[in-house]
Amino acid sequence: MAQAVKPIETIGVLTSGGDAPGMNAAIRAVTRKALKNGMKVMGIDKGYQGLLAKEIRELTAKEVSDSIQRGGTILKTARSEEFRTEAGRKKAAGILGELGIDAIVVIGGDGSYRGALGLSHEGIGVVGLPGTIDLDIACTEYTIGFDTAVNTAMEAIDKIRDTSSSHERCSRVEVMGRAAGYIALWCGIASGAEEILLPERYDYNEQEIINHIIETRKLGKTHFLLVNAEGIGHSVSMARRIEAATGMETRATILGYMQRGGSPTCKDRVYASIMGAYAADLLHKGIINRVVGYQKGEFTDFDIDEALAMQKTIPDYYVEVATALAR
């Protein structure tokens, strides 16, 4: 475990990459716990891009008030090509050094962690907090925003299901997740979908899905729900093919960015608060280059390079259960 060479007096906090509900609860917790620990806190706007542009201001306890219930991120977020280069990260480390910022808390996904690891090589202490609606960070069973996103998507799917049932339609609903199928898997189980298509298991058979619809319609089933992750793609064209092959009216709905927004759920507010405070405590103890996670009912932390080397897979048993209960 890496230890800072001198006590950490000033920390920075930023949100980076895709935004996620609950990021504000994390920013608030980092800020207030660090202040309680006697540290000074600087808010860096717009992720690494804002860091390179010196969009940095001091955060007080008041500054983060009235934010825990808000979606999005009060610090804004962005992506930065310059920060991907070593020269960009050296420049960023120089800016942090000039402002007397010893370490930063990075709230974001895998990409943001890679950037943070690069920054740690330039002598800046980092702590990562898992902020992503996709749940695709290997070292943790919880990521900030996932709970809100799946509840938002589930509620939308329930509404689609009502109308699909009235009209005896087949609905195909695309949820977020380009490379990760957790949102689709959870929403699919929670909504009782007949089919759940995941990017991690690109082995579905379209003809088999069509045959299933034809067969079960003969037995009296009047509506169908297929949930797929964004990474599966061609939602609209597949819906058209299903309609042509089965004769059943089939509509595709792409839920899109609504899944990123909204007021965070209680779980996202509470877990993000604990993780944020945990990050401030690590830095207060001089512990750097770690990421905070949640495993087997406990909050914990890992070396950032160790965390980035872990592989996340979809749990087989979830898929088995989803399949067993769907039909």
Residue 91: which of 113, 127, 122 has the closest Cα?
Answer: 122
- CB-nearer residue toward ligand ADP: 110 or 195: 110
Residue 33's CB is within 10 A of a number of other CB atoms, namely 21
CA distance 90 to 124: 10
In the region spanning residues 168 to 227, those forming contacts with ligand ADP, defined by CB under 6 A, are none
- CB-nearer residue toward ligand ADP: 52 or 238: 52
CA distances from 245 to 202, 215, 225 (A): 21, 12, 16
In the region spanning residues 35 to 74, those forming contacts with ligand ADP, defined by CB under 6 A, are 48
CA distance 100 to 97: 5
* Catalytic residue list contains 134: yes
CA distance 222 to 219: 9
Shortest reach from residue 235's CB to ligand ADP, in Å: 23
In the region spanning residues 8 to 37, those forming contacts with ligand ADP, defined by CB under 6 A, are 16-18
Chain residue at closest Cβ approach to ligand ADP: 111
Here the tokens at position 160 are: 């689609």
Q: Is 143 in the site for ligand ADP (CB under 6 A)?
A: no
Q: How many CA atoms lie within 13 A of 244 on its CB side?
A: 8
- CB-nearer residue toward ligand ADP: 16 or 265: 16
Q: Is 230 in the site for ligand ADP (CB under 6 A)?
A: no
Shortest reach from residue 131's CB to ligand ADP, in Å: 7
The total number of residues shown for the chain amounts to: 327
Shortest reach from residue 18's CB to ligand ADP, in Å: 4
Shortest reach from residue 44's CB to ligand ADP, in Å: 13
Residues 6+ apart with CB under 8 A from 80: 47, 48, 49, 52, 88
Residue 18: which of 185, 140, 144 has the closest Cα?
Answer: 144
Q: Is 80 in the site for ligand ADP (CB under 6 A)?
A: yes
Of the residues 102, 134, 136, 268, which is catalytic? 134
Radius of gyration of the chain, Cα coordinates, nearest whole angstrom: 22
- From 35-43, 65-73, 77-85, 222-230, span contacting ligand ADP (CB under 6 A): 77-85
- CB-nearer residue toward ligand ADP: 136 or 194: 136
Q: Is 125 in the site for ligand ADP (CB under 6 A)?
A: no
Q: Is 111 in the site for ligand ADP (CB under 6 A)?
A: yes
- Member of 15, 31, 73, 132 binding ligand ADP (CB under 6 A): 132
Q: Is 112 in the site for ligand ADP (CB under 6 A)?
A: yes
Q: Is 110 in the site for ligand ADP (CB under 6 A)?
A: yes
- From 90-98, 109-117, 246-254, 307-315, span contacting ligand ADP (CB under 6 A): 109-117
- From 111-119, 213-221, 266-274, 317-325, span contacting ligand ADP (CB under 6 A): 111-119
Q: Is 164 in the site for ligand ADP (CB under 6 A)?
A: no
- CB-nearer residue toward ligand ADP: 71 or 188: 71
- The count of residues interacting with ligand ADP (CB under 6 A) is 17
- Residues in touch with ligand ADP (CB under 6 A): 16-18, 48, 79-80, 83-84, 108-112, 114-115, 118, 132
* Catalytic site positions: 134
